[in-house]
Amino acid sequence: MFRELNHAKCKSYLVASEPEARAVIIDPLRDKIGIYLGVLAYHGLKLEMVIDTHTHADHRSGARDLSDLTGAPIVMHRRAPSPHVTRHVEDGDLLRCGSLQLKVLHTPGHTPDSISLFAGDRVFTGDVLLIHGTGRTDFAGGDPGTSYDSITKKLFVLPDSTLVFPAHDYRGHAHSTIGEEKRSNPRVAGRSRQDYVNLMNNLGLPLPEGIQEALQPNQSEVESETMPFPDLAQLSQVRQLSPKEVAERVARPNGAVLLDVREESEFHGELGHIAGARLMPLRELPERAKELSAFKDREIIAICRVGQRSTTAAAILTGLGFERVWNMKGGMLDWNDAHLPVQR
């Protein structure tokens, strides 16, 4: 069974294995939860998993709400910043739902955590490949060269007959095919990698309306009503350090103060934490920032899973008058990948 659930510019999909009455919902919108639950109930389907193909910047994800209401796990790429992802996946992983099988293709470029899902005769491409278009690459973590590689080396190698279902469409299209996009996608067809990079770097697109109200809660699961988020200009000014640079600064006499802004379950979870790091979840930071007043003359380095929530934390502290604040780029994921020591 297959359904497109929104019939609007933002696309959500239901894919189900009817013999086992098990279903997957891909890229749910928060304001459509009632519709999704109604469709599941009408067809007698159990929700097996909820998948976000990437961290959305133009609408609130409904993944957390669906998970809370149904118990279905949330699936995203390991680079996803959200603290409430149940299962992190990587390129080549297989997701099974009854007799249905979805193959994970890591297709970054629009965002670092972008994935596509290949299901035999169709592929769900998120925002990296659209119908006669491609996803923008000018958000934080976006990269046009990486986008081109994802499209040409991961998606365009699929059979030409493969149906393409993106997470957005602005022209009223329902689907396309890989063959059609290879031949006629105006952003990619006949263009070299450098041609594509030049094109994407000069699109000059306006930012989505309400981007902070959607992006920041999707990254952090913190409601914007409860905490004023920094704007994009403030976030772009945050100074960044690699994990190895952080390790060097911590080792100095009177070294840097490490501020881990993840949830407690993450702090003691699979990625662990850096010895001596202070745990202060992002949602608590505005009220607890005064606890850091004794360290205003020292370097403070904010840390999270992949470096996005901690960038927000660093911007908040800078706005509160802390002058020596940095962010650890790539977060604990890159710290672990660099084989630096952790505690759990």
- Residues 92-137: tens digit of each pLDDT: 999 999 999 999 999 999 999 999 999 989 999 999 999 999 999 9
Structure tokens at 81: 């910043």
Q: What is the pLDDT of residue 224?
A: 66
What mean pLDDT value characterizes the chain?
Answer: 95
- Output phi, psi for 170, to 5 deg: -110, 5
Mean pLDDT of 9-29: 96
pLDDT above 90 for 168: yes
Q: What is the pLDDT of residue 225?
A: 67
- 133-153 pLDDT, tens per residue? 999 999 889 999 999 999 999
Q: Domains of the chain: which residue ranges?
A: 2-200, 222-337
- Burial bucket for residue 290 (CB in 10 Å: 0-12, 13-18, 19+): exposed
Mean pLDDT of 158-172: 95
Mean pLDDT of 305-323: 95
C-alpha radius of gyration, the chain, whole number: 21
- Output phi, psi for 9, to 5 deg: -65, -35
Mean pLDDT of 53-58: 94
CATH of domain 222-337: 3.40.250.10
Of 167, 164, 202, 216, the closest CA to residue 185 belongs to 164
Q: What is the pLDDT of residue 212?
A: 81
pLDDT above 80 for 306: yes
> Is CATH 3.40.190.10 the right assignment for the domain spanning 2-200?
no
pLDDT above 90 for 308: yes
Strands 100-106 and 115-118: antiparallel
Q: What is the pLDDT of residue 171?
A: 86
pLDDT above 90 for 262: yes
Mean pLDDT of 299-320: 96
d(CA 218, CA 209): 15
DSSP string, 69-129: HH-PPEEEETT---TT-SEEE-TT-EEEETTEEEEEEE--SSSTT-EEEE-SSEEEEETTE
Question: How much of the chain exceeds pLDDT 70, in percent?
Answer: 99
d(CA 191, CA 194): 8
pLDDT above 90 for 163: yes
Mean pLDDT of 185-210: 93
Q: Which residues contact 218 (CB under 8 A, 6 or more apart)?
A: 55, 56, 57, 60, 61, 82
3-state helix, strand, coil in the chain (%, to 5): 30, 25, 45
Q: What is the pLDDT of residue 226?
A: 67
* H-run or E-run covering 326: strand 325-328
Across the strands, what pairs with 343?
273
DSSP string, 203-248: --PPPPTTHHHHHHHHHH---TTTSPPPPHHHHHT-EEE-HHHHHH
